[in-house]
Each structure stands twice: as structure tokens, then as C-alpha cells.
Amino acid sequence: MFVIINGKSFEYHHHEEVVRDLVCKTAPHFPYQSADAIRENLKNILEVIVEGLNYEEEKERDKKRKQKIKRMIKRLSNFLEFSKYKKTQRSLMTSAYDLILALEGFGLLHGFGLTNSFGDHIVGNPERKSLMSFPTLRGGSH
């Protein structure tokens, strides 16, 4: 897939790289944008990628590659659909980063819960809780 940004042409061999690079180019601006602006930027980026993938799918003759392209289109379309329900800047940023990690094969593990010695079930994903408590991600020094 070829992508042209500001007059420079980039060739990508994996669709995941396109999503990662284009989303990461706008990610530094997320903290300074409203939730609606982030949602709109992600929507525009991903719609352009989906359009390119649809074009590639039409040209593709190999069934396995065609299926891979369809899965990518489905994942991006699902992300766009569910991002409508994200109301805060933080939830949109988290979803965008989760999408990139999942496409790279480093997504969070689902189906795990937190509990304590009293048997209480605490809502949340233990991986996310441990990531968010890591000092450099919180911005703290302890």
C-alpha cells in the first residue's frame, strides 16, 4: 500500500503499519484536542485507510490475502462504530492506543478479572491497572 503524506510517498508492506503510523502522527495532538476533535481525526484517518483497503481488496486475487484485508477492514470499521460511544478524551486516546497494540499483536488480554483476599470482584483489566500504575505512565516519580 502506498501512502502520500505532505507530498512524500511511503510504501507499506503491512496494513497494520499504515494504521500505526498515521494514528501515531496525530497522537501527540490528542491531549490538546477535545473528544469530538479526536474522534473526527481518527474517523477521517481510518476512513481513508478503509477506502484504500477496499481498493486493494478488489484488485487482490489471492484468497488468503483478500481475507486478511477483509479482517482489517472489519476491525477498523468496528473501531469507528464503537468510538461513537466514547465520550471522553482519555477513553478515545486509550481506544486508539489499544487498537494499535492489538493490530501489532500486543493487545491487552481479555477475560481476566481482579480480586482480593476477601473474594471481591473488582471491575477492570489487571493488565491495564498494572500499566497505569507504572510510574512513567502516570507521570509520577514514585
Query: Whole-model pTM?
Result: 0.72
124's CB contacts (< 8 A; 6+ apart) are: 113, 114
pLDDT in tens, the chain (142 residues): 777 777 888 888 888 888 888 888 888 888 899 999 999 999 999 999 999 999 999 998 999 999 999 999 999 999 999 998 999 998 898 888 888 888 888 776 665 555 666 666 665 665 665 544 545 444 444 4
Cα(120)–Cα(125) distance, integer angstroms: 14
Residue closest to 33 by CA, chosen among 43, 48, 46? 43
Radius of gyration (C-alpha) of the chain in whole angstroms? 18
Q: What domains can be seen in the chain, in order of their start residue?
A: 2-107 (1.20.120), 111-142 (no CATH)
